[in-house]
């Protein structure tokens, strides 16, 4: 009989015998071998578990200790790619570790988002997230391969202003004239979009509903063919990012009717806001980009990424380059970014619902 007072000592001696491989009297050899395997596995797991916390803490303290990837869901050369490279270049210089941009295109940026969502939350894989992927696609796609809850906000990098443009050949000279024409009987105004569900698409639908006149959507595969038909006068109007439209406005090929932000643009100070020009209070349709990490990334690493990214976009040469393209550096806190995402998601969900916008599977 084993007394209760002796049980702890007996269990300890049995476990030691199993780990060391010494024989336990009265135990069959086959049972002994199986028990030894289990005991060694348990010991290994316990050792790994006890070692995991110090290693994790050490990695966090020494972050970054290896290459960081910023995954962009769109091709090189566009606004998301350019913003990611501004941050990657500055952080590489600051930290002495390579910060690279990886372009993983397809499915409106959803492929890149899904890849980052499934990555380890260690700060070495980040996402450059446009407003579409954060606040529009969740209302557009029923089979989205990621959820926003899988991401940790870091900072809103920049706002990119949008401007409403028409052909310089058009007889329309102001937004009020365009709205009046749209409200008149027998008129069929059209607007170009570079893709269904894009901010250009949603902004035009928001204007039509806010100002009370119908328009017909003409969807293109990309910005260039859409703007080309606006230039020719084959389509009435388009919301375009200021960085794209500005050279054509300056060349006298496009006419700017209003900027889709709360205040006038420093790049086009003589162009009123949509709210001013069309008497549409509160109208806003800004493209923005954020930096996000997989959910569960340690707060200390998120804080270091936040501080590094904000410093990068506010460096004098970077800031000047951004502003020249109609991009305004933001540098919000993670909490502020979370609020922006919630507000924008609600805004665009209503437009998508009211306009019955659907993306074909």
Q: Please list the residue range(s) of the chain that carry CATH number 3.40.190.150.
A: 68-159+295-355
Say whether domain 68-159+295-355 belongs to CATH 3.40.190.150.
Answer: yes
pLDDT at position 7 is: 36
CB 272 within 8 A of CB 258: yes
Tokens of 15: 């476990």
* 263 three-class SS: coil
pLDDT at position 289 is: 96
pLDDT at position 267 is: 87
Positive or negative: CA dihedral 28, 30, 32, 35:
negative
CA distance 200 to 241: 8
Q: Please give the class, per CATH, of domain 162-278.
A: alpha beta
pLDDT at position 335 is: 97
β-strand pairing of 327-329 with 151-160 = antiparallel
pLDDT at position 59 is: 74
- Convert 314-337 to b/e letters by CB count within 10 Å (16 or more is b): ebeebbeebeebbbbbbbbebeeb
Length of the chain: 361
Tokens of 12: 């300890």
* 282 three-class SS: coil
CA distance 35 to 12: 14
Spell out the per-residue pLDDT of the chain, length 361, in tens: 333 334 344 334 433 443 444 444 454 444 344 444 344 433 433 333 333 333 367 677 899 999 999 999 999 988 889 899 999 999 999 999 999 999 999 988 999 999 999 999 999 999 999 999 999 999 999 889 999 999 999 999 999 999 999 999 999 999 999 999 999 988 889 999 998 899 999 999 999 999 999 999 999 988 999 999 999 999 999 999 998 999 999 999 999 999 999 999 988 999 999 999 999 999 999 999 999 999 999 999 999 999 999 999 999 988 887 877 678 899 999 999 999 999 999 999 999 999 999 886 5
Strands (E), the chain: 68-72, 99-103, 125-130, 151-160, 162-167, 190-193, 216-219, 237-241, 254-259, 287-294, 327-329
Q: Please list the residue range(s) of the chain that carry CATH number 3.40.190.10.
A: 162-278
Q: Kindly report the pTM of this predicted structure.
A: 0.79
Strand partners, 291: 128, 155
């Amino acid at each position: 009989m084993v007394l209760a007072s002796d049980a702890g000592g007996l269990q300890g001696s049995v476990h030691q015998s199993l780990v060391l491989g010494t024989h336990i009297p009265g135990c069959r050899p086959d049972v002994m071998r199986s028990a030894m395997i289990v005991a060694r596995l348990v010991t290994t797991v316990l050792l790994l578990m006890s070692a995991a916390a110090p290693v994790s803490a050490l990695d966090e303290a020494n972050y970054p200790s290896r290459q960081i990837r910023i995954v962009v869901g769109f091709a090189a050369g566009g606004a998301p790619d350019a913003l990611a490279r501004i941050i990657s270049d500055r952080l590489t210089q600051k930290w002495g570790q390579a910060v690279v941009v990886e372009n993983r295109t397809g499915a409106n940026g959803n492929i890149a988002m899904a890849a980052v969502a499934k990555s380890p939350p260690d700060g070495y894989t980040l996402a450059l997230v446009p407003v579409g992927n954060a606040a529009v696609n969740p209302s557009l796609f029923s089979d989205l391969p990621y959820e926003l809850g899988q991401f940790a906000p870091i900072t809103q990098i920049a706002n990119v202003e949008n401007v409403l443009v028409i052909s310089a050949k058009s007889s329309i000279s102001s937004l009020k004239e365009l709205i009046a024409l749209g409200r008149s009987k027998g008129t069929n105004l059209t607007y170009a979009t570079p893709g269904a569900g894009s901010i250009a698409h949603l902004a035009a639908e928001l204007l039509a509903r806010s100002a009370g006149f119908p328009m017909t959507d003409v969807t293109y595969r990309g910005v260039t063919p859409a703007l080309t038909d606006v230039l020719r006068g084959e389509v009435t109007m388009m919301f375009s990012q200021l960085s794209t439209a500005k050279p054509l406005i300056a060349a006298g090929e496009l006419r700017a009717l209003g900027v889709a932000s709360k205040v006038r643009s420093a790049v086009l100070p003589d162009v009123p806001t949509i709210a001013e020009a069309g008497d549409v209070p509160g109208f806003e349709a800004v493209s923005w980009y954020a930096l996000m990490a997989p959910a569960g990334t340690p707060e200390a690493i998120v804080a270091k990424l936040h501080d590094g990214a904000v410093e990068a976009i506010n460096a004098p040469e970077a800031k000047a380059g951004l502003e020249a393209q109609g991009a305004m550096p933001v540098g919000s806190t993670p909490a502020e970014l979370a609020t922006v995402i919630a507000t924008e998601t609600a805004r665009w969900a209503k437009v998508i619902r009211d306009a019955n916008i659907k993306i074909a599977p």
